[in-house]
Chains A and B, each alone.
Chain A
Amino acid sequence: MKPRIGVFVCHCGLNIAASVEVSEVVKAIKDYPGVVHAQDYIYMCSDPGQNLVRKAIREHNLTGLVMSNCSPSLHERTFRNLAKSEGLNPYLVEVANIREYCSWPHQGDKETATKKALTIIKATIERVKRNQALTPLVVPLQKRVLVLGGGVAGMQTALDIAEGGYPVTILEKQAYLGGRVRQLDHTFVTMEKAKDLAGEMIDRTLAQPNIEVLTTAQIEGISGYVGNFEVQIRRQSDWVDPEKCNGCEACIKACPVEVPSTFDRGLVMRKAIDWTPGARPGEKRVFLDHQACVRVTRQESCTACQEVCDQGAITYPEDEQITQMYGAIVVATGHDLYRKSALTEYATDPDVLDALQFERLLSEDGPTGGKVLRPSDGKEPKEVVFVQCAGSRDPDKHFPYCSKICCMYTCKEARRYKEKVPDGQAYVFFIDVRSTGKGYEEFVKESVQKERLLYLKGKVSKIARQGDKLLVLGGDTITGHRVEIEADLVVLAMATVPSPGAKELARLLNVNTDPYGFIQEAHPKLAPVETLTAGIYLAGTSQAPKDIPHAIYQASGAASKILSLFSRKELIHEPLVAHVDTEICAGCGYCHDNCAYQAVSVDPILKKAVVNEALCEGCGACATACPSGAIQVKNLDSKQVFDMISVVTKDYALRP
């Protein structure tokens, strides 16, 4: 069938028409081979403009459209949808960009712009002549979600999706749910107990029938794509049977291994087998930490705990391996605090704590039962100095970013300290107090006045041990005085950093991280809960430092994105993907090496390249790499590219 192409030239007001002589272009293109209709209009995207196009399709029985206007990112979809509604296959419509590529860069030079516009349009006509009618690809969708991390963000996402009716698996590295919030004492600005807050969420999570919780579990491998991720999970088996254990502690006494307690942030030591937070806050259980046990760390065959357990509660089964299909994944792996030892000027002294260690001192389930006692001698500290921005906002040596939550938690911790030690004094060194949430500024003001907190503007320069005191050298930049405080205890608001292993996890999932290892969102404003990998979403502090309310907002945002994904029957994928001519393909695999999306592989038996159309983004990297031209991108194959180049070289011949 002979092509019947319609060319539509838009003025875009004066955006195009001021530089391109539109009427001349239309006149010249009317008789170009294959063109049966050409027309211009002031705004082709407007309703009257679109009606002109509709009418032309019907009247001239058009088989292809060349829309000569602005960038395809603006209106390609508009005109393809229009074609579809008129019964013309949308993939027979192409945009000739004569605005960004032509009228804008050549403003004031009508001759050049008009000539170039004509060339761009002719080249696009040649492309459309060889376009195929295509139908979108249909990809099946597994309506099951994997949430990595069981902190407040992970639990919120899981709850929202589960309540929407879909099954969710939460993978949690630790033996318990709740994340950092399990380690906290109270929470700003409501001063609600962290235990109650986390407890309420954990109860709902454990009671929700659509949620499966896998603790001491991590992801080991992943393949596939949105709607169809195949995930390998490794779950450490529980070496202490909670049904049989009666808590006699014989095993704890027998265990030869001592390690710093991660839950209490090294304030106390624990045995490899020891008490650990239980499923719910307030509960505890005897738990054997594989990472500490010599059976794992040194491959030894120690059975000291098993031998003394008269309940027969201890066995050492192998780890569990699970493979499961998921349609979407949420990364909610949370945050950590920067290591104190990096700030050498603040000394490595037992009475210099990081903010999480101080939370443990404040907590009733902490090593001091909630009494504020300093680690060195167990005395109640009367002069406590808090140092904000410890490692944050320090582009020269540490991190350039603001950790966002420390202004608020420092104020909260200072307030809690004073509630517990009313005759003590708390000082807070700050460079700014950023209290930008709802009720936050009011909280700071109230705390300062109620608990007589003395805020001092300036960074602490040095902390040094002096007998049983810590000499803090700081300043008050407001009055220009240097300030010295003989403190009993110092608390550092260490910079917030990603949780350990975040970079490795990102690599495994094929998502990006920012320079500090936080997972990178697809767009900082318009797509803050998505990653650039379709089907992988973000929630909570894995993306950036944030407090509980903001973690929850993002978690619910990610959940609603997934619920909207799952509201479809199946997934639709653009059909503009690579295609292999198996007659020509020699199976060299260059295409595979060049594909950024792992969408091409070489069949080991047939020795031919195979395209996974659901993964292919149609970028064409494979087509340029293929030595024989066997792999081509649909509607932009090499014949089309050469046809387009011919138009250009004819119009702009170096030697006529």
Chain B
Amino acid sequence: MKIRLSRERVRGDFVKKVEMISGQDLLQCYQCGKCSAGCPAAFEMDILPSHVIRLAQMGQEEELAQANSYWICFSCQTCTVRCPRGVDIAKIMEALRLVTLRQKNRNKVEATGLPPELLAELPQIAIVSSLRKLSG
């Protein structure tokens, strides 16, 4: 894929918002890949956690909007604990979820869309946390 970089893009609203919500400086990351190497959910992600950060550094909003990575993220914080530069990647994942949910004005999980059988089986706490995490 070809991307065009400009100062509007790399210092644009998207980057600012992700940094503001997560409280993280995206340029703190030097792309060592340790987060991706240890992520227990990475095998299911289409874009690795470190690449998610990289795309965010470059302001690649559209490509990130298509990614499944931050939806799959368990928020287990393995990456955050291990990052040598002290980047809280889990918070960045959370920020990306929020930006996507709010900006695209859509929920990843619709409470009303859940089948009753599933609702009957799932523990309540799991349902609540899932809705907190995956809906706007």
Q: Which residues of A contact B (CB under 8 A)?
A: 382-383, 423-425, 427, 445, 448-449, 452-454, 456-457, 476, 478-486
Q: A445-B30, A454-B5 are in contact. List 20 more A-B contacts (CB 8 A).
A: A382-B7, A383-B6, A383-B7, A425-B7, A448-B27, A456-B5, A478-B31, A478-B50, A478-B51, A479-B54, A479-B55, A481-B2, A482-B2, A482-B3, A483-B4, A483-B5, A484-B4, A485-B4, A485-B6, A486-B6
The total of Cβ contacts below 8 Å across the A-B interface reads 57
Q: How far does the Cβ of A452 sit from chain B's closest Cβ, in whole Å?
A: 6
Q: How far does the Cβ of B19 sit from chain A's closest Cβ, in whole Å?
A: 11
Q: Is B11 an interface residue (CB 8 A)?
A: yes
A-B contacts, 24 listed (Cβ < 8 Å): A382-B7, A383-B6, A383-B7, A424-B7, A425-B7, A425-B10, A425-B11, A445-B30, A452-B10, A452-B11, A454-B5, A476-B3, A478-B50, A478-B54, A479-B54, A481-B2, A482-B1, A482-B2, A484-B2, A484-B4, A484-B5, A485-B5, A485-B6, A486-B6
Check A476 against B7 for contact (C-beta < 8 Å). no
Check A481 against B10 for contact (C-beta < 8 Å). no
Q: How far does the Cβ of A559 sit from chain B's closest Cβ, in whole Å?
A: 39
Alpha-carbon distance between A453 and B11 when the two chains are bound, in angstroms: 11
Q: Is B58 an interface residue (CB 8 A)?
A: yes
Q: How far does the Cβ of A430 sit from chain B's closest Cβ, in whole Å?
A: 11
Check B25 against A425 for contact (C-beta < 8 Å). no
Alpha-carbon distance between A56 and B17 when the two chains are bound, in angstroms: 90
A contact patch SS: strand
Alpha-carbon distance between A478 and B3 when the two chains are bound, in angstroms: 13
Residue of B nearest to A385 (CB): B5
Q: Is B22 an interface residue (CB 8 A)?
A: no
Q: Is B57 an interface residue (CB 8 A)?
A: yes
Q: How far does the Cβ of A386 sit from chain B's closest Cβ, in whole Å?
A: 13
Give which listed residue, A424, A476, A480, contacts B58 with CB less than 8 A.
A476
Check A454 against B57 for contact (C-beta < 8 Å). yes
Q: How far does the Cβ of B42 sit from chain A's closest Cβ, in whole Å?
A: 15
Q: Which residues of B contact A (CB under 8 A)?
A: 1-7, 10-11, 25, 27-28, 30-31, 50-51, 54-55, 57-58
Query: What are the 10 tightest A-B residue pairs by CB atom distance, in nearest-first order?
Result: A425-B7, A482-B2, A484-B4, A481-B3, A485-B5, A449-B27, A481-B1, A479-B51, A479-B54, A448-B27
Alpha-carbon distance between A453 and B1 when the two chains are bound, in angstroms: 23
Alpha-carbon distance between A483 and B5 when the two chains are bound, in angstroms: 7
Residue of B nearest to A472 (CB): B5
Q: A448-B27, A481-B2 are in contact. Are A454 and B10 (CB under 8 A)?
A: yes
Residue of A nearest to B33 (CB): A478
Q: How far does the Cβ of A32 sit from chain B's closest Cβ, in whole Å?
A: 71
Alpha-carbon distance between A478 and B31 when the two chains are bound, in angstroms: 8
Residue of B nearest to A426 (CB): B7
Alpha-carbon distance between A485 and B10 when the two chains are bound, in angstroms: 11
Alpha-carbon distance between A456 and B27 when the two chains are bound, in angstroms: 12
Residues of B within 8 A of A427 (CB): 5
Residues of A within 8 A of B51 (CB): 478-479
Q: How far does the Cβ of A299 sit from chain B's closest Cβ, in whole Å?
A: 55
